[in-house]
Amino acid sequence: MKFTKLCIAALWLLSFPGYLHAQDPPQISLMPMPASVRLAEGRLRVNPNFAVSSQAYSDSRLEGAISRALLRLDARTTLTLAVSSDAKSALVVRVDGPGEAVQELNEDESYSLEITPQQATLHAATVTGAMRGLETLLQLLSADRDGFYFPALHIDDRPRFPWRGLLIDVSRHWEPVDVIKRTLDAMAVVKLNVFHWHLSDDQGFRVESKTFPRLHQLGSDGLYYTQAQIRDIVAYARDRGIRVVPEFDMPGHAHSWFIGYPQYASAPGPYEFKRYLGGDSVPFDPTRKQTYHFIDKFIGEMSRLFPDAYWHVGGDEVDGTPWDANPAIQAFKKKHGLQDNAALQLYFNQQLTRIVHHHGKQMVGWDEILNPDLPKDALVQSWRGPESLALAAKGGYNGILSAPYYLDKMFPTSTYYAGDPLPANSDLNAAQAARILGGEACMWGELVTPENIESRIWPYTAAIAERLWSPREVSDVGDMYRRLDIVSARLEEAGSRHRLNPEALLRQAAGGEYPAAVGDFMDFVEPLRLGLRMDERRPSQNTPLTSLGDIVVPDPPESRRFAAQVTAFLKSSGRDSSLRDALRTQLQAFLAMNDAISTLASHAPVFRDGEATAADLAGLGAAGEQALGYLAEGKIPPQEWIAQQNALLDRAAKPKGLLRIAVLDAIRELILAAETQRPVSHVKG
């Protein structure tokens, strides 16, 4: 699979409207877009004498950030750049102070960056702000025939929202330490600042507990983080300006707790390790004092590992059936005047809040915790949508949005980009709007393993990061995609394997190297979205996620390029012969892809999953080429042809082998244009 067939050098020269002087050909492509960018004349050259010095304040965190930045600059320029104490160095980093001892929600992340032909000056109030500025500087590096340089400019930047997170679910499928660290490095590139670590669920309890060792001994299948590893990852995240918020789900999604400690469940055991994904889930028994003693001791132990002020308790999707079937719980509800299970969960959350407060934390929970009687310092994470988030804000609660940002749904990046925690049409007043703290992308674990999780997170999450950092007015989808393709390379430079791992999995499936046409085929198909995938072929924890549907990536750049060409061609009313020729060449290539997949499947059985889809794609290629012919001749095709193509489109739309054709809508529009002999204004990606 290829990153893109577009020339990267050409991409760097394209502009992003509204932020730069029109008279200067822009040579920068930043993501997230800063709050303010002003280009100036000239360039600061990066040569063997280029050095960096820190002034005013420095500590080990800042020194580490500068060192990592220089290593990336070294690798890109092939130079060996140095740290200096000279205030006249080519890059001067001025930091006023360290910031908070434990990074906080409202830590100052702002910075300014001034680049002249003589010197670059990065100024920030805190080390965290300096880290954000260094990432911007790294994205600014450009090149010409004379070598590398930074463009002269002035940037003033600060985040729109203070909470910009990524959730990773390690319960349903385990993710080892190296994957977590690579993800943290990539998060830093796009200025995300909260790592939400979903550490327990029905399918796994993933942290060593010395107080209650049967939690990890029996609830993890041997796959868990030691306390030393937890401390290491928390420190690693802090060194990159990222907070770590743990989630231990309760009272529901708690099956893994009860394998070792069934006495705290609301239904009798025994409980065994649950490898299947989904299904029934027994909640904690919220009526027994022993339950709260257990939770109190557990949170007391874990809170010493996680210094962040926020503590996520889950609270979502509680199945009340075991509560209804338990006579003791029903008697408790009657005695305490609890009318329903929602009231019982509120009772649980009120006790839980006191425990969390006792250990110096503030509660975070999903939508279901929201209740007017919940303490106002609880933070609500909305998976139900902006309306639910707004309701929480109107009720006096701080909140963050996740509903539009579920990465396991594998929507087009443009869909994620359109989601906004505080949209322009919001009816919240200023005080209520201030309670919207930001949002989190969510990588749930049903369909990801260490081999494919990075290709499901990146580069798409960079667009979500921009939505949470940049001004609301930064919203041009075409320009977002242009810059996304560029930041993808920067993410890879920082260590992400989102492009390398699919290549490796493809070679594994092929039993070695594979024909170029096979890689081309993978550029024009996508994985099934979550619901369809689970309907077609539901995995368990033991299922190897190495099928073609697990290897291909959502929203492939080459498919977007093809769709953009179709859009441009139809907007020209079919008169642009160069675009017509390019489209015809690509449509003809679908036939070669079909032949290559068919041949490979004869000795590499994994590719049998692709045969039906490749045949459909070849048929669509032939239909698209015929549509181009009808458009060139200005003739409406016969009804028999139209009926045949509509049947083909219907057949191609049905999932096969966990794959869907990414260019189906584009070819549909070509066929429709031929049928009507009318240009079509837009093609879906």
How far, in Å, CA of 445 to CA of 427, rounded?
A: 35
Residues 6 or more apart whose CB falls under 8 angstroms from that of 250 comprise 257, 283, 284, 295, 313, 314, 315, 348, 352
Residues 215 and 257: beta-carbon distance below 8 Å: yes
Return the closest-CA partner of residue 108 out of 93, 92, 96. Answer: 96
Q: What is the pTM of this model?
A: 0.94
Residues in the chain: 685
Residues 6 or more apart whose CB falls under 8 angstroms from that of 133 comprise 93, 111, 112, 113, 122, 123, 124, 155, 157
| Three-state secondary structure call for residue 142 | strand
| pLDDT, mean of each 10-residue run, the chain (685 residues) | 36 34 55 97 96 95 97 96 94 96 95 98 98 98 96 98 98 98 98 98 97 98 98 98 98 97 96 86 96 98 98 95 97 96 96 97 96 93 93 96 96 97 96 98 97 98 98 96 96 97 98 96 96 92 96 97 96 90 97 97 97 98 97 93 97 96 97 81 50
| Three-state secondary structure call for residue 659 | strand
281-312 per-residue burial string, b: 16 or more CB within 10 A, e: under 16: bbbbbbbbeebbebbbebbebbbebbbbebbb
C-alpha dihedral, 324 to 445 to 528 to 618, nearest 10°: -160
Residues 6 or more apart whose CB falls under 8 angstroms from that of 249 comprise 198, 200, 201, 313, 314, 315, 316
**Helices 477-493 and 60-77: angle between axes, nearest 10 degrees:** 100
Return the closest-CA partner of residue 91 out of 61, 59, 72, 69. Answer: 69
Give all strands (DSSP E) within 270-361, no chain letters: 310-312
Structure tokens at 582: 């390019």
Helix (H) or strand (E) holding 204: strand 204-205
**Residue 679 pLDDT:** 54
Q: What value, to the nearest 5°, has the Cα angle with vertex 405 and ends 443 and 232?
A: 40
| CATH number assigned to the domain covering 8-157 | 3.30.379.10
Structure tokens at 253: 């999604």
Q: Facing residues of 363 across strands? A: 311
Return the closest-CA partner of residue 41 out of 57, 63, 25. Answer: 25
**Residue 397 pLDDT:** 97
If you ran DSSP here, which 8-state letter would residue 550 be given? Answer: H
DSSP letters, 603-630, are: T-GGGHHHHHHHHHHHHHHHHHHHHHHH
- Which residue is associated with the tokens 């994904």? 277
Tell me whether the omega of the peptide bond preceding residue 544 falls within 30 degrees of 0, making it cis: no
**Residue 684 pLDDT:** 53
Domain boundaries, the chain: 8-157, 500-676
Structure tokens at 65: 């950030």
Other C-beta atoms within 10 Å of 549: how many? 25
How far, in Å, CA of 347 to CA of 361, rounded?
A: 19
Structure tokens at 666: 């584009």
Structure tokens at 517: 């046409």
Catalytic site positions: 317
**Residue 678 pLDDT:** 64
